[in-house]
Structure 1
Amino acid sequence: MLDTRLYHHLVTWLGQWPIRQALQIVGSEKRLRPGWDGAVRPVAGLGTPDGVLMSVPPDKVDTVRALADLPLPDLLDKLPGAVDHDGWRAFEAVFRWTTDPAPLPDAGEWIPAVDPVVPKWLRPFGAEVLVARDDDGGYLAGVGIKRHDPYGNELSVGTEPAARGRGLARRLVAQAARRVLDEGAVPTYLHDPANLASGKVATAAGFPDLGWVAYGVFGPEGP
């Protein structure tokens, strides 16, 4: 049975759930509104063994449905143009979630995102971020929370090259997942299918790969 928090997150994030056909195109006003970081994301999709649900702006539903007979790779190739974002690219990411993070020891502390030790990539997450430091107080690794809605929050982790191989990322991700759960939401984790290191971190932190895939389109700044 799907976790209630995850169900509500998917309904809120995509505009509809569950998937009821092999390829389901739905319109959602969410595709027109700023997301967790203020950016508008015109496509959000999720594939499971039951099929694929693609959420697009309401006025683009018919245009995207006209592509529904194409093989999925071809549909994804045409998707940016179908939602009036020529020059953007479609992406696929492994979508993971958990309600039972690995019982790993904490590895960091929660500090304000504006703290001088927080690296540039971690600052847009706002509020507090989770940071592991060295003995001199320097940044080693960190996790930010993408607060999509009250039901589902996505974790993003980064580790300095010199600090890799110590198990910091998996411990930080598990620690952050426990906080998200304590706050009443379900933690999610997305990564490029080719990023095997990120996949190993997710698995070790208690985020299994269930064969779910997230979809979207992004511009030059990335997803």
Structure 2
Amino acid sequence: MTSERRLSEHLARWLGAWPPASGLDIVGEPGRTRPGWDGRLHPVLGVAGPEGGVLSVPPEHAGPVSRRYAADGDLAVVGPQVPAMVGYPQRGWFTAVYRWTLRPASLPEAGEWVPADDPHVPAWLRPFGGDVLVARDPETGAHLAGVGIKRHDAYGHELAVVTAPQAQGRGLARGLVAQAARRVLDEGAVPTYMHAPDNLASAAVAVAAGFPDGGWTSFGLTEETP
């Protein structure tokens, strides 16, 4: 299976349909009512590329959301109304830049893979499970940066990176993201990366690591408060 096909398989499994048949297909997907990679519900998810997008909602809400979108035709207007429409009025609506790559940057390896339950792994990395990628200070062993992998399905793995304040500006994040992306590809999946449109630092990391901005976006409900 080609890498491009793997991306399509991922989006079809994650959202319930892909490729889109129109500017925005609204689909009812049972997966929206089941826990995701982190054990929490993600009741609304969407991705759009240059040729259209898919908005995935619980099956019982597909009809009402479709009718509301048909009446307005503007996701920027309808999106913020969706949380209340699907029974989550306390949550907000997000839009993010969605990136993926088949050719990560050839940067030197910046970290080492360790089990997420290693006692030295920072708390924020533990929920990812499996192996996580960490960079430590060679003298003190202090954690400097890390990458966790959201294993949505067998074909699409989303990367998340955080750098400690004292280690920012060293290029660690871009090196770690590129290193993690190469491993994801080697394992037969496609690495993806999301960030807020106004997060210029995260955008710079993505570009340097080999994740171009291809005009793709993602959208859905904001995270549930623990």
* Most deviating of 60-69 and 91-100: 60-69
CA distance in 2, matches of 1:219, 1:154: 16
The alpha-carbon distance between structure 1 residues 210 and 85, as it changes in their structure 2 partners (threshold 3 A), is: same
* TM, length-normalised to structure 2: 0.95
Pairing 1:193–2:197 present: yes
CA distance in 2, matches of 1:15, 1:183: 23
**Which runs of structure 2 are paired with 1:41-120 in the superposition (5 Å)?**
41-68=42-69, 69-70=71-72, 71-120=74-123
Q: Deviations over 1:142-180 (max 9, x none)?
A: 000000000000000000011010000000000000111
Q: What is the one-letter code of the residue matched to 2:83?
A: P
CA distance in 1, matches of 2:185, 2:221: 28
* TM, length-normalised to structure 1: 0.96
Pairing 1:148–2:152 present: yes
SS of aligned partner of 1:67: helix
**Which runs of structure 2 are paired with 1:137-176 in the superposition (5 Å)?**
137-176=141-180
CA distance in 2, matches of 1:102, 1:12: 27
Cα deviation, residue 219, structure 1? 4.4
Q: What is the one-letter code of the residue matched to 2:158?
A: E
CA distance in 2, matches of 1:53, 1:185: 20
Q: What is the one-letter code of the residue matched to 2:214?
A: L
The alpha-carbon distance between structure 1 residues 164 and 219, as it changes in their structure 2 partners (threshold 3 A), is: closer
Equivalent position of 2:218 in the other structure = 214
Q: For 2:131, which of 121, 124, 128 is the aligned residue?
A: 128
Q: What is the one-letter code of the residue matched to 2:173?
A: A
CA distance in 2, matches of 1:219, 1:88: 7
Whether the 8 Å contact between 1:87 and 1:219 is mirrored in structure 2 is: no
CA distance in 1, matches of 2:6, 2:217: 19
CA distance in 1, matches of 2:93, 2:186: 34
Unaligned runs of 5+ in 2: none
* Most deviating of 133-142 and 211-220: 211-220
**Which runs of structure 2 are paired with 1:6-17 in the superposition (5 Å)?**
6-17=7-18
Runs of 4+ in 1 over 3 A off after TM superposition: none
Whether the 8 Å contact between 2:3 and 2:190 is mirrored in structure 1 is: no
Equivalent position of 1:177 in the other structure = 181
Unaligned runs of 5+ in 1: none
Equivalent position of 2:207 in the other structure = 203
Q: Deviations over 1:180-202 (max 9, x none)?
A: 11111000000011100000000
* Most deviating of 9-18 and 68-77: 68-77
Whether the 8 Å contact between 2:3 and 2:102 is mirrored in structure 1 is: no
Q: What is the one-letter code of the residue matched to 1:12?
A: R
Whether the 8 Å contact between 1:117 and 1:138 is mirrored in structure 2 is: no
Q: What is the one-letter code of the residue matched to 2:57?
A: V
Whether the 8 Å contact between 2:30 and 2:59 is mirrored in structure 1 is: yes
CA distance in 2, matches of 1:60, 1:179: 37
Cα deviation, residue 86, structure 1? 1.0
CA distance in 1, matches of 2:6, 2:107: 23
Count of matched residue pairs? 222
**Which runs of structure 2 are paired with 1:29-44 in the superposition (5 Å)?**
29-44=30-45
Cα deviation, residue 116, structure 1? 2.6
Cα deviation, residue 220, structure 1? 4.6
Whether the 8 Å contact between 1:114 and 1:123 is mirrored in structure 2 is: yes
